[in-house]
Structure 1
Amino acid sequence: MARYDATDALDELFEDGGYAAGAGSAVSARTEAILDGPSPSDSIDAVLRLADGLPGLDEVREVAEGDVSELTEQELQQKERTEAVIRTAMATGDASVWVVAQGLERVAKGKWWRRTHRTLAAYVEDTIGRSAVYARQLRNNAPLALETAERTGTVPHPSHVKETKKTEKQYGRDAAVTLYEVVRDVSAELGERPTASSLQAVHQRLPEQLPGLPEQQRAVIEETTRHVLGVDGASIEALPFEAKSNTDASIEAPDGMPEGESSAVGAATRAGDDDIQDAEVVPEYLAALQDALKKLNLLDRAVTKDVYAQAAADPEGAEEYRKVREAIIRRATAIRNKALHAPTPPAADG
């Protein structure tokens, strides 16, 4: 495997986040300066200063509850800046996990815990607050994670590598990296991000053997991914609902849930187990879904086959029609995808 160049990876990371080219080099230089005189507070400050790229809170216009108006040009710019910072911060968290993994690998090899702890497990628990089982999984998955980052320009989440590790075991590392990259790219077409469940679903649908040639191997993986995720007219296959796949950049326990923590999303899901309530006290989240359904029904009635036919028949607007049609397909597929991924309510008693 080629050497993992942290500066190049940071440049890619920051460019993806909307920062100027070379920003990663600046961060890399600062990191080297920190290493010359280690200071945890400086390291933390470097990450926290990502918030300097956010728009000022006072500059953000407060919008009333229920307002579904189009975003203004200023709001769109603020949203783009904010999401760039969020993506960079999340990727920084994911990258930190793999730095921890590499550090633990060195600790294990040198047995540097031997004078302070009885076992490596005790050392791991004291140092990172996680179990030895989790640390071992992290160390085992680090080589695949680092190569995935190097070859795709994206630092994978630990739960994602846990799934692509199965692909590596069955088909080899090249196939595992390709699967991650293809699922990431196809998910982006749907306006989504890769999840552990989507990676798992694609892996499970691959044939028992993949072609030997890389380009043929990639073609099979892409065809499978597009079928599973419902792109190019294929039916979307229901995937298990994944509440936390992309929301937590911290070190996770092997089952995808940080040890000792509960999921707020899971709690919200369980709150939906109550009996159907009267219309006047329908909770906000259910009202939002009902409102969305009404709007979808209106759109379905307005956008008829005849509308498409007339738009397609206009030669002057052919290119614009193609773009709009493809955008409608992507957005409609993304909406359906979310609904299929969502948890289903428990069966009614009796």
Structure 2
Amino acid sequence: MPSYDATEALDDLFGDSESYSSDGGDAVGTRTEAILDGPAPAASIDAVLRLADGLPSLDDVQAVDEHDTSELTETELRQKEQTETVISTALAAGDAAVWVIAQGLERAAKGRWWRRTHTSLGSYVEAKIGRSAVYARQLRRNAPLALETAHRTGTVPKPSQVKVTSKTEEQYGRDAAVTLYEVVRDVSSELGTHPTADSLMAVHKSLPRQLPEGPEQQREVIVEATRRTLGVGTPPFESDSNESASIEAPPFESDSNSDASAETSSSDEEPTEASKSFGEAEDDIEDAEIVPEHLATLKDALRTLNAVNRAVTKGVFAQAAANPDDASEYAEVRQAIIAKTTAIRNKALHAPKV
């Protein structure tokens, strides 16, 4: 399987990192000569298509029954990893290509190269890339931040993601915007997911009105906000703020902090209003025969969670942690509870809405 170095791939696409300073216009890059002397379009397309050579042979992939839930074999795990590496590489190439297009459009706009063939830059853009002038303006405006994010993090952000982090840049500066993307990416990876525009926006909204000036202090605040907003390290069923938390609606407002959030949260010794209004009423759920199977499963799970929420209070945690002889086992159990509740919460957050 061919190896793939994300940093080298970005350097090939965007040039040396020195070309991308923090200055707005300069960050677009200066690679006109390299573009003119580069490979023909057909060769570039062929290079991307050759990624498929790194896939396992389809004939070697074992077909399984649709109801098979068995563990993957060593061969299947190897084929899966090999395939996902190729998919990730292809996705990264596609994301990077968008910002290459943005650099090209910036040059066309500056030189007004459309002036003899089109009535406006917008019509030129639509003819060249098949997208609206508004989309092109967003690409051009966000390209400096996207390119710096790519070089500093080794990951190419999508246009929808940079549209969000550009708001962070406007409010806190470019360093904070790049850090936010990197931290959300890393925390999302812990949860087995990827950063999205929604998750980035949720974290952006959860930041305080002002960030510390020092980069390390800024990162600490962003890490804390990200972990709280995405539910890492905080059991999601213990308070009213966590009960209602979602990617679309962060658990605290943009001008709040962790201490204020803790003070306004209701005690987990009492049932939350959310659980009173629906969850606890479900202790009297109707018989499964008159409820669709999958909905009955969810209601049964909710009933179990309500019972767990009532039993697992702050006092229980405090008493369990009080015995130094049980410290190691307590730490393992606490972390396991966090992992399980976070997994359930994330499934619910990403479930279809009606």
Q: Which TM-score band (shorter chain)?
A: 0.5 to 0.7
1:12 aligns with: 6
Q: Equivalents in 2 of 1:126, 1:327: separation in Å?
A: 55
2:184 aligns with: 183
Q: Equivalents in 1 of 2:138, 2:175: separation in Å?
A: 20
| CA shift for structure 1 position 344 | 3.0
Change (3 A) 1:111 1:26: closer
Matched residue count: 279
Q: 2:350 aligns with which of 318, 341, 348?
A: 341
Q: Equivalents in 2 of 1:147, 1:25: separation in Å?
A: 12
- 2:246 aligned with 1:238, yes or no? yes
Q: Equivalents in 1 of 2:82, 2:51: separation in Å?
A: 11
| CA shift for structure 1 position 233 | 1.6
| CA shift for structure 1 position 327 | 6.3
| CA shift for structure 1 position 334 | 2.8
Change (3 A) 1:207 1:99: same
2:259 aligns with: none
Q: Equivalents in 2 of 1:162, 1:24: separation in Å?
A: 20
SS in 2 for 1:66: coil
| CA shift for structure 1 position 179 | 0.6
Q: Percent identity?
A: 64
Change (3 A) 1:323 1:113: farther
Q: Equivalents in 1 of 2:63, 2:114: separation in Å?
A: 53
Change (3 A) 1:88 1:331: farther
CA contact (8 A) 1:34 1:42 kept: no
Q: Equivalents in 1 of 2:38, 2:174: separation in Å?
A: 37
1:159 aligns with: 160
| CA shift for structure 1 position 122 | 0.6
1:204 aligns with: 205
| CA shift for structure 1 position 12 | 2.9
Change (3 A) 1:196 1:152: same
- RMSD after superposition: 4.0
| 1:11 partner letter | D
SS in 2 for 1:194: coil
Q: Equivalents in 2 of 1:297, 1:161: separation in Å?
A: 40
SS in 2 for 1:114: coil
| CA shift for structure 1 position 109 | 0.3
Q: Equivalents in 2 of 1:157, 1:292: separation in Å?
A: 34
CA contact (8 A) 1:191 1:331 kept: no
Change (3 A) 1:135 1:191: same
Q: Equivalents in 2 of 1:78, 1:343: separation in Å?
A: 30
Deviations 1:271-309 (A, max 9, x none): xxxxxxx99xx7xxx86x8779989999x99xx99xxx9
The runs of 5 or more residues in structure 1 that have no matched partner are: 1-9, 14-21, 242-277, 346-350
The runs of 5 or more residues in structure 2 that have no matched partner are: 16-32, 237-241, 250-287, 313-319
| 2:58 partner letter | L
Q: Equivalents in 2 of 1:328, 1:296: separation in Å?
A: 16
Q: TM-score scaled to structure 2, two decimals? A: 0.67
Q: Equivalents in 2 of 1:28, 1:148: separation in Å?
A: 12
Q: Equivalents in 1 of 2:109, 2:130: separation in Å?
A: 16
SS in 2 for 1:61: coil
CA contact (8 A) 1:211 1:217 kept: yes
| 1:339 partner letter | A
Change (3 A) 1:37 1:102: closer
Deviations 1:86-105 (A, max 9, x none): 11111111000000000000
| CA shift for structure 1 position 313 | 11
| 1:129 partner letter | G
SS in 1 for 2:102: helix
Change (3 A) 1:97 1:293: farther
2:148 aligns with: 147
CA contact (8 A) 2:6 2:154 kept: yes
SS in 2 for 1:210: coil
Change (3 A) 1:98 1:324: farther
Q: Equivalents in 2 of 1:27, 1:133: separation in Å?
A: 24
CA contact (8 A) 2:183 2:223 kept: yes
* Structure 1 runs, 4 residues or longer, greater than 4 Å off: 22-29, 32-35, 289-298, 312-315, 321-328
Change (3 A) 1:291 1:62: farther
Q: Equivalents in 2 of 1:201, 1:146: separation in Å?
A: 23
| 1:335 partner letter | I
| CA shift for structure 1 position 36 | 3.8
| CA shift for structure 1 position 181 | 0.7
| CA shift for structure 1 position 192 | 1.1
